[in-house]
């Protein structure tokens, strides 16, 4: 459970190789998911705050209360590789 792989941009669990993003040379990128990273580049250039707002509705769909979802994202996303400086 602890070593479950997460996309280092959006925090989505990446438990299937098909969900991994791709490098410029077509190989899989281990850090990011297919939604965030394609052909060696991020698919969009949102800020951390924007990313949180993009993720909230997905978590609400998964059954989270909106305020809790936002708080959780504020706690977890800044630690991911893309956002941690």
Binding interface with Zn ion (CB under 5 A): 7, 9-10, 12, 33, 36
Please say which residue, 58 or 64, places its beta carbon nearer to Zn ion: 58
Q: How far is the CB of 68 from Zn ion (least distance, A)?
A: 21
Sequence-distant (6+) residues with CB within 8 A of 50 are: none
CA 52, CA 48: separation in Å to the nearest integer? 6
CB of 58 to Zn ion, least distance (A): 11
The alpha carbon torsion through 43, 30, 59, 81 (nearest 10 deg) reads: -80
Q: How far is the CB of 15 from Zn ion (least distance, A)?
A: 13
């Amino acid at each position: 459970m602890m070593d479950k792989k997460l996309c280092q941009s959006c925090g989505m669990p990446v438990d299937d190789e098909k969900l991994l993003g791709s490098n410029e040379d077509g190989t899989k990128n281990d850090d990011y998911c297919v939604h965030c990273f394609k052909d060696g580049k991020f698919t969009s250039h949102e800020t951390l705050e924007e990313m949180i707002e993009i993720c909230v509705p997905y978590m609400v769909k998964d059954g989270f209360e909106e305020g809790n979802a936002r708080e959780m994202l504020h706690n977890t996303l800044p630690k991911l590789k893309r956002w941690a400086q």
